[in-house]
Amino acid sequence: MYTDNKLQPQKLKLGRVPKIDKAIYRYTISFNQVEHTRFYLFSNNRE
SS3 17: coil
Q: What angle do CA 4, 10, 12 make, to 5 degrees?
A: 95
CA 27 to chain CA centroid, Å, is 6
pLDDT per residue of the chain (47 residues) written in tens, 0 to 9:
455 555 555 555 555 556 767 777 788 888 888 888 888 787 777 65
Q: pTM (2 decimals)?
A: 0.34
